Structure 1
Amino acid sequence: MKSTHQDLLTSHYADERLAIRLQEALVAEGLNPEQLTLDDIAAIDQLHVGGRRSSRQLAEQASFLPAQKVLDLGCGTGGSSRLLVDEYGLQVVGVDITQPFVDVAQWLTQATGLTARTKFICADAQCLPLEDESFDAVWSQHTLMNLPDLAKGLAEVNRVLKPSGRLLLHEVLQGDNLEALAFPVPWADTASTSHLIKPAELEKQLTTAGFVKVTQQEVTEQALNWRKKHTDKEARGQTGILTPQLIFGPRFLQMGKNLMANLAAGKVRLIEGIWQKAG
């Protein structure tokens, strides 16, 4: 039987033992899995390039107001959702297509005492079970690259945003070097589940979907420097127990090396920016 989009992403990102594995690692670190701080779990809940620094960098540009409602699209284990709630006083709904990630997001949010202003849903970003015009902003870090039908996903983002709502992007895109990527990478094991597009194509699709660019900047060099630092630490075995390897398994070391090589060769690039719903 042909695997669905959800099956492919779930098999890449997580498995049913993910929560158990993370709990065991936390106990081994001398932590209580039911009572944690955001600092305790930063290494395993900020899975995008740049970690918490990149999330804060994007959030600082957003001019959030307390209690605004934000959709965290492709929330993973919920790290950015919790950061936005804790540091900016927002209400956040996190959506991810991978059920084990959603389960972990709910557990870690409860363990960090942030459940009152968060909700997590397992759903496809291309078909959101959410009401029209219900969010002030949509937050997307390394999510669009996993959408086979980007136009459909952006149409959903537009639909759930309030008038003049904003889409906050921190995304991996195709670089100028069109040679084949080295796989696996953190978002895909093979080319069949990697949906990178060039910046110009992203801009075209965003415009078609009804968005106007507010700001956008290249952060590729910053990403390369961050990945190089972490790859060096991983090679020297200096990362400790709590690392993304708990989520991705031993292959994460190769993923990190391949990501760095792809960045250095100009095969991928990273941007961050804000786009506003027109009208």
Structure 2
Amino acid sequence: MAEPHAITIDEMYSLRNVDAVDRALNRSYQPRRSGLMFAVLDDLEVGPDDLVLDIGGREASHSFALVQMFGCRVVSVDPLESNNARARAAVAEHPLGSRVSIRPGVMEDIPAADGEFDLIFSHDMFFQVVDADRALADSHRVLKPGGRLVLYQTFATDRLEPRERDQLFTDLAVVPERMSPEDFEKRAQAAGFHLELTDVVGSELREAFEEDGINLTSRQLLYAARLLRKSEQLRAELGDIDYRVELGNALWGVYQMIGKLEPRIYVLRRS
């Protein structure tokens, strides 16, 4: 592909259709809203008879959403005791708590019997999995034949510059190899999964947040600007780790909006 020509001053200021630009950039292109993964599960007809594994369940908020939407039973598995403690407290207080159970564990060694689950739900955690092959193999093990792994994951694109990549991955505990969709698909197929769906979400959810007035990415852009401009002051005030994590989280959202990071949804069926 030929390199684009250098835009001239005349082209930049004299020949542009300002009205057309305004119309094009100030209309909605109908981005999809949050809940995409739940819509996928609805298409898969998840129901009360199903047992779902919420891997990397954190405080079990997704687990309760699954129970409320589909009536299924859910097991939340997370490696951090602080997350599991909050999840257990939520289970004790929630009216549907009897439908959710908490188990400590990691995706590489899931605390479950062979073929125990009808479905695995994974929401934006796989980029921190150290041993992808073992995690996918164990996911395959705990699923029933024909069971599915539904995974939402953010990947890097070629727009993410090397220095941005190094800083972001270091500060957010990202395993670099997990950020390649091609690598993920290859490993999933090698583990015995059939790729039923690949949905490139891209910036859609972020656009929808802005259009709906949630302004999540706008706030993250503001936070990133403050953290960068007042880096010495805020690093001293917050501490090095909190400073780096907050900057990384802010940039994570901004990078999704401008195409340096690309969320995708996968549906993988156990053979």
TM-score (ref. length: structure 1): 0.69
Q: Deviations over 1:16-67 (max 9, x none)?
A: xxxxxxxxxxxxxxxxxxxxxxxxxxxxxxxxxx996344334333321222
1 or 2, which has the higher helix percentage?
2
Superposition deviation, residue 232 in structure 1: 2.4
Higher relative contact order (CA 8 A, sep 6+): 1
Match of 1:176, SS state, is coil
Amino acid at match of 2:190: T
SS at match of 2:251: helix
- Establish whether residue 138 from structure 1 lines up as the match of residue 107 from structure 2: no
Inter-CA distance 51–250: structure 2 relative to 1 (3 Å threshold): farther
Unaligned runs of 5+ in 2: 1-31, 224-240
Q: CA deviation at 1:102?
A: 0.8
Q: CA deviation at 1:215?
A: 1.3
Single out whichever of 158-167 and 226-235 deviates more from structure 2. Answer: 226-235
Aligned with 1:62 (options 38, 44, 62): 44
**1:258 aligned residue:** 251
Distance 1:96 1:52, change over 3 A: farther
The answer to whether the aligner puts 1:166 opposite 2:148 as a matched pair is yes
Are positions 1:93 and 2:75 aligned together? yes
Give 1:219's match in structure 2, choosing from 201, 220, 226. 201
Matches within 5 A, 1:1-279: 53-180=35-162, 181=164, 189-190=171-172, 193=175, 195-225=177-207, 229-233=215-219, 254-278=247-271
- Gaps of at least 5 residues in structure 1 are 1-49, 238-247
Quick check: 2:220–2:250 contact (8 Å CA) kept in 1?
no
Amino acid at match of 1:266: G
Aligned residues: 218
CA contact (8 A) 1:137 1:165 kept: yes
d(CA) in 2 for partners of 1:252, 1:190: 6
* Contact 2:74/2:100, CA 8 A, preserved across alignment: yes
Give the % identical residues.
22
SS of corresponding position for 2:171:
coil
Secondary structure, counterpart of 1:140 in structure 2? strand
Counterpart of 2:15?
none
Q: Which has the larger radius of gyration?
A: 2
Between the aligned partners of 2:261 and 2:117, the Cα distance in structure 1 is: 30
**Distance of 1:192 and 1:273 partners within structure 2:** 19
Shift of 1:275: 0.9
Residues of 1 paired with 2:243 and 2:68: CA distance? 32
In 2, are the aligned partners of 1:184 and 1:254 still within 8 Å (CA)? no
Greater shift, 223-232 or 194-203, is seen at: 223-232
Distance 1:96 1:197, change over 3 A: same
| 1:176 to partner: Cα distance | 2.5
What is the one-letter code of the residue matched to 1:128?
I
What RMSD in Å do the two structures reach over aligned CA positions?
Answer: 2.9
Q: Is the 8 A contact 1:69 1:135 kept in 2?
A: yes
Mark the CA change 1:226 to 1:107 in structure 2 (over 3 Å): closer, same or farther.
farther
